[in-house]
């Protein structure tokens, strides 16, 4: 059943919840439904985040909600042949690939696959039916719905998304790739929910691609919970290439058990409005947690990265490096906070945000922040906002490079520092290629789309020489 509203606000969503409650709750476990009810009451209390909040000071959701959105409470796309409409540029990697279309799981044979090594990959909705104890053991344990308004909203409406369970002592040789596609001929409001559980000493690489195949307005509010058990190693890559009219909010909650390592890398190539919220809890010692981000934005695109790393236990290492290049009137926001609690001795935490503005109209707001209550720690933070170094530009030109080539070379080098953090060689090369295409003005959201709708979005990041 589809429902539409001329514009969205808290009251309308709550009304919608009560009307559609049955179709949501009948697929979920009783525990998930109790968590859902709690989240709903939080959303009822807090509503959408307002600009009065510190973490939303420079990012305004209001104009994005002013649209006639359609909601879909049943899976209409599950047996669609996605390859007919889309091929991912990272696709030719040898991956275990999964597609979500408009927030719903698309499958050819079965909604849930159990591999020989015990790994379960598939639809969260199906997992709640087949493995309810497993889902109940983890669901909602990392997502802080009391603190994050949009995490509460996602949890209240949870239906489907990706479920991965890797049992203890299993290394998944192939990366798991999740392709999240938005394609609808009307504005859609989507809230996929992912639950990733990585057992003791296990290893997984997750590649998460967000695409939109439509020029229509869409609003996606994704929530991902990642649990890394003792000694687990998780590599989490996100590649975002979405249209000008899309709003994408990602809420990622990571909980690390002792001696685990989690690496994440968020690459925002295109997107009308993007907000990535990352919340990492380190309640046990000897963990590594490294988070990198790259955003390449132009026209009036808006990208906001908000990171919170909570050092609760001693002897943990965390590192953040977020870099961005902004063209035209693009806007970037970074707010990173590292919390070092009283018992978190010997914490090592680094945080850095670097921005290059190509025009006078581009704007970056950056707020690195450390809050330290332990006395024996090593922490650093830094932020820069600047232009391409004119001395370096002249140096390159004095060797015969034209201004355009010199700029591209320097931008690719600037972005390279983040791309080089990708540990899988083949993936690194693919992403480097995408980043280079993007910075040369050759990549639009239409490149991978097979629909040929004849309304190609301009391949921006074109350097307008008249502005220099």
Partner 1 sequence: MLSIKNLSASINGKTIIKGLNLEVKEGEVHAIMGPNGSGKSTLASVIAGRETFDVDEGTVTYMGKDLLELPAETRAREGIFLGFQYPVEIPGVSIANFMRTAINEKRKYLGLDPLTGAEFLRLMEEKKKMVDIQSKLTNRSVNEGFSGGEKKKNEIFQMALLEPRLAILDETDSGLDIDALKVVANGVNKLRRPDNATVVITHYQRLLDYITPDFVHVLYDGRIIKSGDKNLALELEEKGYEWVKKEAPAGV
Contact set with partner 1 (CB under 8 A): 389, 391-392, 394-403, 405, 409-410, 412-414, 416-417
Q: Between the CA atoms of 83, 88, 89 and 93, what dihedral angle is there, to the nearest 10 degrees? A: -80
CB distance 191 to 222 below 8 Å: yes
For the bound state, the minimum distance from the C-beta of residue 7 to partner 1, rounded and expressed in Å, comes to 45
Q: Pairing state of beta strands 104-106 and 112-114? A: unpaired
382 versus 458: smaller Cβ distance to partner 1: 382
Please, what is the Cα angle at 158 between 155 and 160, to 5 degrees? 140
Q: Residue 389 Cβ, how far from partner 1 at the closest point, in Å?
A: 7
In the bound complex, what is the minimum distance in angstroms from residue 416's beta carbon to partner 1? Answer: 5
- Strand 331-340 versus strand 363-372 pairing type: parallel
**CB of residue 429 to partner 1, shortest distance in Å:** 15
* Structural tokens at position 118: 């015990």
DSSP 237: E
Nearer CB in complex with partner 1: 32/434: 434
CB neighbour class for 30 (10 Å; exposed up to 12, middle 13-18, buried from 19): exposed
CA–CA separation, 394 and 389 (whole Å): 9
What radius of gyration, in Å, describes the C-alpha atoms of the chain?
Answer: 21
Q: Hunting for tokens 């295109």 — which residue is that?
A: 270
By beta-carbon proximity to partner 1, the closer residue of 389 and 464 is 389
Q: Please report how close the Cβ of residue 394 comes to partner 1 at its closest, in angstroms.
A: 6
For residue 363, the minimal CB distance to partner 1 (Å) is: 24
For the four alpha carbons of 125, 129, 130 and 133, in that order, the dihedral sign comes to positive
Question: Of 280 and 356, which has the nearer Cβ to partner 1?
Answer: 356
Q: How far is the CB of 393 from partner 1 (least distance, A)?
A: 9
Which one, 53 or 465, has the nearer CB to partner 1? 465
What's 55's DSSP letter?
A: G
Report which of 291, 325, 284 is spatially closest to residue 307, judged by C-alpha positions. Answer: 291
Beta strands in 36-117 (DSSP E): 69-72, 96-101, 104-106, 112-114
Based on CB atoms, which residue is closest to partner 1, 372 or 396?
396
- Cβ partners under 8 Å of residue 214, min gap 6: 182, 183, 184, 185, 243
Long-range CB contact pairs, 405-408, < 8 A, 24+: 407/358, 407/463, 408/439, 408/440, 408/463
Nearer of residues 402 and 453 to partner 1, judged by Cβ: 402
Residue 85 or 396: the one with the smaller Cβ distance to partner 1 is: 396
Cβ atoms of residues 261 and 288 within 8 Å? yes
Q: Least distance to partner 1 from the beta carbon of 408, Å?
A: 9
The distance of closest approach from Cβ of residue 295 to partner 1 in the complex, given in angstroms and rounded to an integer, is 17
Nearer to partner 1, 133 or 391 (CB): 391
**Cβ 397 to partner 1 shortest distance, Å:** 4
Q: Is 192 or 324 the residue whose CB approaches partner 1 more closely?
A: 324
């Amino acid at each position: 059943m589809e429902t539409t509203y001329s514009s969205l606000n808290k009251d309308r969503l709550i009304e919608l919840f009560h009307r559609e409650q049955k179709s949501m709750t009948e697929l979920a476990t009783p525990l998930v439904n109790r968590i859902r009810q709690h989240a709903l009451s939080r959303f009822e209390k807090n509503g959408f985040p307002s600009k009065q909040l510190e973490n939303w000071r420079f990012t305004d959701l209001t104009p994005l909600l002013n649209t006639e959105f359609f909601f879909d409470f049943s899976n209409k796309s599950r047996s669609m042949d996605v390859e007919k409409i889309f091929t991912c540029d990272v696709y030719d990697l040898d991956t275990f690939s999964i597609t979500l279309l408009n927030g719903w799981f698309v499958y050819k044979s079965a909604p849930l696959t159990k591999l020989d090594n015990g790994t379960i990959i598939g639809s969260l909705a199906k997992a709640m039916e087949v493995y309810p104890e497993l889902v109940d053991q983890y669901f909602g344990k990392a997502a802080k719905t009391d603190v994050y308004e949009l995490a509460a909203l996602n949890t209240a409406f949870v239906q489907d998304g990706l479920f991965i369970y890797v049992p203890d002592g299993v290394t998944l040789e192939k990366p798991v790739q999740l392709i999240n596609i938005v394609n609808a001929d009307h504005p859609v409001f989507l809230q996929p929910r992912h639950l990733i559980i990585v057992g003791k000493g296990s290893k997984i690489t997750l590649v998460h691609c967000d695409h939109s195949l439509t020029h229509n307005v869409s609003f996606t509010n994704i929530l991902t919970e990642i649990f890394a058990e003792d000694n687990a190693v998780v590599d989490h890559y996100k590649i975002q290439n979405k249209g000008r009219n899309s709003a994408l909010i990602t809420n990622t909650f990571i909980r690390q058990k002792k001696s685990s390592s989690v690496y994440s890398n968020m690459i925002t190539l295109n997107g009308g409005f993007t907000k990535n919220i990352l919340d990492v809890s380190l309640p046990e010692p000897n963990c590594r947690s490294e988070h990198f981000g790259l955003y390449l934005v132009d026209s009036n695109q808006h990208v906001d990265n908000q990171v919170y790393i909570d050092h609760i236990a001693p002897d943990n290492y965390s590192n953040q490096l977020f870099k961005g290049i902004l063209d035209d009137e693009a806007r970037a926001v970074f707010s990173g906070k590292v919390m070092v609690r009283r018992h978190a001795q010997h914490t090592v935490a680094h945080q850095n945000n670097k921005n290059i503005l190509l025009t006078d109209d581009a704007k970056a707001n950056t707020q690195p922040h450390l809050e330290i209550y332990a006395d024996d720690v090593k922490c650093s933070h830094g932020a820069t906002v600047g232009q391409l170094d004119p001395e370096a530009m002249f140096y390159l030109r004095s060797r015969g490079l034209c201004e355009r080539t010199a700029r591209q070379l320097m931008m690719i080098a600037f972005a390279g520092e983040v791309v080089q953090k990708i540990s899988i060689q083949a993936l690194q090369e693919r992403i480097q290629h995408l980043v280079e295409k993007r910075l040369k003005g050759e990549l639009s959201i239409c490149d991978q789309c097979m629909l040929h709708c004849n309304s190609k979005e301009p391949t921006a990041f074109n350097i307008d020489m008249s502005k220099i």
